[in-house]
Chain A
């Protein structure tokens, strides 16, 4: 009786007409709380859209203050895609050309390639105070920011040299979208993933050629390039998912959110054939365990007190439950949950000098919670949240996959499915 008429929420394209002006979204916007120059989600989103459709001169450059955190969308009782409306308006109407700095920040893969090649030189240089001041003055990258270090050997190189050949030993297989951060800055996270997946009985493969998901290109207004990369990635995913029947997993919540939702909503790149089987590694593992197909065995002596931070895009996906459920399976973990709040970095947003104050203001309540929670470290699924929290608190941040890898008893786990 119901199917023919039921309209799910969160489904139409630009559904600003569904707004009933209740202003609930404005209560939960983290920017509005600290920066009165920002008009807020209702005004920038559905209300502004009505005006912009009449005359595009109503477009207001202050919309670039939006973090695209989508917390407004999660709260809206009427399923209005406020964040999408704002981002689409920026794409359509913004006349400001991206600056050199924005291009540098946005091209995480090109800059990463150059930097990791020269990592031993680049790392000390960007860490130097005079260099940071120069970046601040010339490029308007805030000098408080500490750049993530570049790794000497890229993940892809490491994989080809040391891991690729072993992956065919397994009966079951997945592809791994590692993203720029794992490739250039933090290969360990990719290695940890391979450790877990292998222990779970899965061979891990790289896509034919992955490109940066493009999230930073989108937020810096480099839409043409973002669209090109999105099309490329969807094709690469298809080769794995459709041709080889191999799902694609990732360890970056932002990459996977961008590929699943922002490609169709903001770039108009269709992804129907790949969307359902592109997901986070923690969700993939959870499903296996939940359906009784996998059992993980953990070391007896692993003891840690950790707090989980929900990145905005995890809040929107509703998926933090998978990561926290896995963490809670580790017997030696004393788990503390943090109130779900934006950390303020929002990718490249917080790197820009003009946003520094807003960014730290947004994150402050989270930092205070972390500092007062007496934990060993913070767990989170997003790499930019990691930079932000490590820079703004005294605590280290680990990815849930790395924590699992550390706590896992590989031999005992393998024994369970090998016999």
Chain B
């Protein structure tokens, strides 16, 4: 089966790369063995949040002093400055409205009650300009009785530091009785489904209005709008105080909505999305990848002019570590990392862990290396790349988005 481009991995990088290519008229396919890390996403995309333990104010400036091996440096500062403008526009065309600036981080309130710097935030959530103040003095934190994935006490503790006077209130509604019967099913996605399908929102908003009397602001877990963002918008319109949503424990409702909308956009552009299929191996000829073989399609190989590997990091099994070996499991590509397993870990848990920098090795044009030689038509994007500790520096989505768009541009050249 022949496509112009095939992308392995349907997460944030695979999807945005696919959308950009399909927008330019390419016939693309994405193969993804399962749902991706977007399902766990907090609601914000980070570009660069921390450097040497300090909050970064201006990521675009700070990127300039990153080591040469960092994916941002390899994309190049000029390209980055352009792509940071393009990325939110691409998301916007998919129906995802993100706001923020690349030259000035804003802050979001985490479920731990801490202000965290970030780049782009989806419009469900509130963006704050300062990390040392909260705009309101009297807040009510509301939660659904029996919902254990929203830790109200952490939020309360966190807000205390900003001098906010808070009160926690739990409430029950009959619409949630059915899912409450089974405590393990009282999860954000199931609550969101109740709001999505029924007419619980009106009664809920009324309750919120009653319970928030005497307070300046209402804090709620982000469980609104799994399949449509209108639920979150309607809620804000119906509640007569400002509403601040906070991420609950994943899976994340805005995250799942983002995944669904990105896939929809890709498919509307004519892309083919193979979900639940696993790329098993590739056929190489003269330093080119000619075809890949998947679990579902067997002997009918998927062929393309260019391939993109966007199979994620350790979590998605894009990179695998066993006791003695670190490897890329699909195509057997070269790894940028220590082969000596003694060096993978720093004994101090909170230090910058060496293994978090590991990933697939590429040349300067993001082509994958196999046995030291670049594969001409195989590009690498997203968290499967090495060279950065995304968790530590707060750069996860930034690396995924910007490398994927950069790689798409290499293909379109």
Contact = CB atoms under 8 A, between A and B. Distances in A.
A binds B: yes
B286 interface: no
A48 B256 CA distance: 25
B187 A5 contact: no
A283 B296 CA distance: 11
Contacts, number: 106
B295 A8 contact: yes
Contacts of B251: 22-24, 27
In this complex, the interface size class of chain B, counting residues with CB under 8 Å from chain A, is: 35 or more
A77 B278 contact: no
B297 A318 contact: yes
Given A10-B295, A26-B189, A318 B36 contact: no
A2 B328 contact: yes
B35 A24 contact: yes
B33 A9 contact: yes
B250 interface: yes
A317 B296 contact: yes
B297 A43 contact: no
Contact of A26 (B185, B275, B295, B327): B185
B327 A33 contact: no
A318 B187 contact: no
B296 A319 contact: yes
B297 A79 contact: no
Interface stretch (A68-76, A184-192, A266-274, A385-393): A68-76
Interface stretch (B176-184, B203-211, B214-222): B176-184
A286 interface: yes
Contact of A321 (B1, B36, B226, B322): B1
B299 interface: yes
Interface in B182-236: 182, 184-185, 187, 189-190, 193, 197, 226
Contacts of A40: 185, 190
A156 interface: no
A36 B178 contact: yes
Given A26-B185, A43-B184, A321-B1, A79 B296 contact: no
Interface string A40-83: 10110001000000000000000000000000011111110000
Nearest to A70: B276
B403 to A, nearest CB: 21
A152 interface: no
A290 B190 CA distance: 43
Nearest to B272: A321
A305 to B, nearest CB: 18
Contacts of B277: 318
A27 B35 CA distance: 11
A26 B298 CA distance: 29
Contacts of B184: 42-43, 47
B316 A77 contact: yes
B172 interface: no
Given A5-B327, A33-B197, A317-B296, A75 B320 contact: no
B364 to A, nearest CB: 24
B274 A321 contact: yes
Given A8-B295, A318-B296, A78 B182 contact: no
B230 to A, nearest CB: 16
Interface string B231-250: 00000000000000000001
B300 interface: yes
Contacts of B101: none
B264 to A, nearest CB: 8
Interface in B297-335: 297-300, 316, 320, 322, 325, 327-332
Q: From A37, A77, A315, name the one whose CB has the most chain B CB atoms within 10 angstroms.
A: A77
A2 B327 contact: yes
A39 interface: yes
A129 interface: no
A287 interface: yes
Given A9-B34, A27-B226, A276 B1 contact: no
15 contacts: A2-B328, A5-B325, A9-B278, A9-B295, A27-B256, A32-B190, A33-B197, A36-B179, A37-B178, A39-B185, A47-B184, A74-B275, A76-B35, A77-B39, A286-B300
Interface of A: 1-2, 5-6, 8-10, 22-24, 26-27, 32-33, 36-37, 39-40, 42-43, 47, 73-79, 276, 283, 286-287, 290, 315-319, 321, 325, 337
9 nearest CB pairs, A to B: A318-B296, A36-B178, A74-B276, A77-B34, A2-B332, A1-B332, A318-B277, A6-B329, A27-B189
Given A23-B251, A26-B189, A290-B1, 7 more contacts: A5-B320, A22-B39, A27-B189, A75-B276, A77-B39, A287-B299, A325-B1
